[in-house]
Amino acid sequence: MAWFRRSKQNIDPSSGKKEVPDGSWIKCNGCNEMFHRNQIEAALYTCPKCNYHFRVDSKTYLGFLLDPKSFREYDKKLRATDPLGFVDSKAYKDRIDSMIEKTGLYDAIRCGVGKIDGMTVSIGAMDFAFIGGSMGSVVGEKIARAVDRAIKRKCPLILVSSSGGARMMEGALSLMQMAKTAAKLVQLAEKKLPYISIMLDPTTGGVTASFAMLGDVNIAEPKALIGFAGPRVIKQTIGKDLPEGFQQAEFLLEKGFVDMVVHRKDMRETVLRLLRFFQN
């Protein structure tokens, strides 16, 4: 049936156009020009001409931020159970299994401890390729533990978001992960430890409406889509086209919801400068 295929596509956006395609010549989604893979890679997967930011996986992103070989991953194999026995076009259990097989990840966030210019940080970065970076119990628990590690080591917390929001297949339990991550951030705040939230394209729904918007400092990558409701839903509701640039990082900066929009090649340096101010 047609809707089987379509629905799978819909919640498996790993095939989304933002990913870096295979092959040694890459066409930029921003300016449509061809570049050699080496050029794109050297620019941290951004376009050398138009600054388009390609979507990358958590491991690659952590590599941009952290000192080489400083990352130690925790809770890698924490994985989803299926508390609701959720079945749509596919059983959630099977979806998880095939996602694990396909991506080599166990869920939509990678967490651990690393160093930025020698400074220890507790850090997590999301993988949009894993069921649209959706937050269920595993993402919530891994963030909770990342907060615990920050508290234990008395170090800052950095979370890099890229997510379609809460994971439908865990129902109210996913919704409660918003509450859970916020509750853990209260504990972090009580210890006066800084939290830097970095939002990539896209960061929407329950992730934006919980930990992603709660940074002491909120940073966004250029043109990243950031919002609560998705543009499609808003368009459907109001029955009008959306204004140019609506819900893009620069729009959020203008409206006062992110502290800065930072190009990926300046991200590590920016975070480093902030951490120094916090720690001095």
Partner 1 sequence: MAKTILEFEKPIIELEKKIEEMRSMSSDLDISNEIEALERRVNDLRKSIFSGLSRWQRVQLARHPDRPLTMDYLEMMETDFIELHGDRHFGDDHAIVGGFGQLDGKTIMFIGHQKGRDTKSNLYRNFGMANPEGYRKALRLMKMAEKFDKPVITLIDTPGAYPGIGAEERGQAESIARNLFEMCRLRVPIIVTIIGEGASGGALGIGIGDRILMMENTWYSVIAPESCSSILWRSWEYKEQAAEALKLTGEDLLELGVIDRIIEEPRGGAHRNPAEAAFILKNTLLEELEDLLKSTPDKRVKDRIKKFSSIGYYEE
- Give 119 or 209: the residue with its C-beta nearer to partner 1: 209
**DSSP string over 146-204:** HHHHHHHHT--EEEEEEE--B-GGGHHHHHHHHHHHHHHHHHHHHTT--EEEEEEEEE-
Please state, in angstroms and rounded to a whole number, the distance separating the CA atoms of residues 134 and 152: 27
- Is the C-alpha dihedral spanning 122, 127, 133, 137 positive or negative? negative
The partner in contact with residue 170, picked from partner 1, Zn ion, none with C-beta cut-offs of 5 to 8 angstroms by kind, is partner 1
Assigned token pair, 15: 């095939």
- For residue 210, the minimal CB distance to partner 1 (Å) is 5
- For residue 179, the minimal CB distance to partner 1 (Å) is 4
- For residue 250, the minimal CB distance to Zn ion (Å) is 17
Is residue 177 part of the contact set for partner 1 (CB under 8 A)?
yes
Please state, in angstroms and rounded to a whole number, the distance separating the CA atoms of residues 60 and 48: 18
| Interface with partner 1 (CB under 8 A), residue from 72, 77, 192, 280 | 77
The partner in contact with residue 63, picked from partner 1, Zn ion, none with C-beta cut-offs of 5 to 8 angstroms by kind, is none
Residues 22-81 that bind Zn ion (CB under 5 A): 28, 30-31, 47, 49-50, 52
Which run of H or of E encompasses 26?
strand 25-27
Which run of H or of E encompasses 112?
strand 109-116
Residues at the site binding partner 1, with contacts judged by CB under 8 A: 3, 6-7, 10-11, 75, 77-81, 83-84, 86-89, 136-138, 140-141, 144, 166-180, 182-187, 189, 205-206, 208-214, 226-229, 233-234, 237-238, 242-243, 246-247, 255-257
Residues at the site binding Zn ion, with contacts judged by CB under 5 A: 28, 30-31, 47, 49-50, 52
